[in-house]
Structure 1
Amino acid sequence: MRWIFFSLVFGNLLLLVVFWQKQHEPVADVTALEIPGNSRTLLLVSEAGDSLRPVDKSSRQVVRERGDMCYAAGPYADELDARHLLARVAAVGLTGKMNIVEVQTGEPAEYWVHVPPRATREEALRTLKELQKRKFDSYIITQGELAEGVSLGLFRNKESAYGLRKQVEEFGVPVEVLVVNESRREFWVEVVEVTQLSERMRERIQAGDADIRWELTACTVQ
């Protein structure tokens, strides 16, 4: 009977050793669990990184509100009227900016008689001296596309401009007439928050200005 007792004790000790070893074995890292029913993957929080960070809703709202397009109200012929609308935009908590647009009417306003640009400043000076010797009022153009040319004056009367051109050409000097078209200024008020500008809100801001319109346009507000 003694050997049976010692066998039981030895067996229990052996089981205790095996159990103790299993408790101290390293556990394999689990990174993902594939779900057979769909294509989703379960990730550990420690491995998800930035994907689990809260979304900045305010930043997303700014992108959606601003975008690339703004509403523009106009045109106003009077700057003061445009500023009044700009003040109403600010009063309702929106972001506005006034833009000035030069609009060509297509009607000639002036005729610019000039010698086309010379190759160098020295050549322009020689042409100037030749014209002044012939008693033509003139000066060198120093800026713009006609720089290094020589101006002979601006005329509102077409016949006067072309008459001067003919006189100068008699001395072998090339002359051109540039037609400067008439333009007018328009004042527009640009509003950033497109999604907030319902028809009712636009009417409130417009405040009875019957001669203006609202247009979607590319934003210039920074």
Structure 2
Amino acid sequence: MKWLFLLLLIANLLFYGYSQFAEPTAAPDWRSREVNADKIKLISAEAPEPGKPGVDSAATATEPKPADAKPAEPTPAEAPAPLAAQDAANSCMVWKGLPERDLLRAKSKLKALKLANAPAEQLISDGPTKFWVYIPPRNTLAEAQRKGDELKGLKIDDYYVVNDGGKWQNAISLGIFSTREAADRRLESLRTVGVKSAVVRERGDGVHSATLSLSGISSEQKEKLQALAAEFKGTTLDDSRCSR
């Protein structure tokens, strides 16, 4: 038995000596096995406080609306106006150069067209003072026409009888001049051939032409307006931008 005891003692001594002098084994480096360790975030296991989004808040935010949900209906202000109404509201014209003597007749004919809006009227004077050679108004239109026949007998054809219903109704116009000298020369030539009733006056105190702005015009009314304007020589009818 002594030899068994000695054998175990020797074995223990050898193991002790080896453990004292052998190099210790390096501890394994677990960090080398980590992947994207800087992107890992710890999440608390506690329930989120009321009012704060939890882990599933993103999924809840992107959750689709029910299939039967109806889109919001537009308010009455957003509803587009009928196309015909838009065309009428945006169709405007301007009628220029209407002589004062023809203004009442033109406005009377416009009433027959039954436009959506009444015409806006702008009265225009001749500008700088002019000088009018004329025969004062006769009592009746027939008298004025007889006076015109007398002028024709004197070979004076450049005149017209005023018939606009205004203050100069039944007067006989013999010319409008830009200077007093030219008007006086005309007056002298008339007296030379026997016209004694003609006189000269300044003509800068009244309205002599008008412009009418028309709006709310349909396509059919536009054609009738063009035909109407053709009846008044020297006037123009043009498309215009509608005021807002």
Q: TM-score range by the shorter chain?
A: 0.3 to 0.5
Task: Looking at secondary structure, tell me which structure has more strand per residue.
Answer: 1
Larger Rg: 2
TM-score computed with the length of structure 1 as normaliser: 0.35
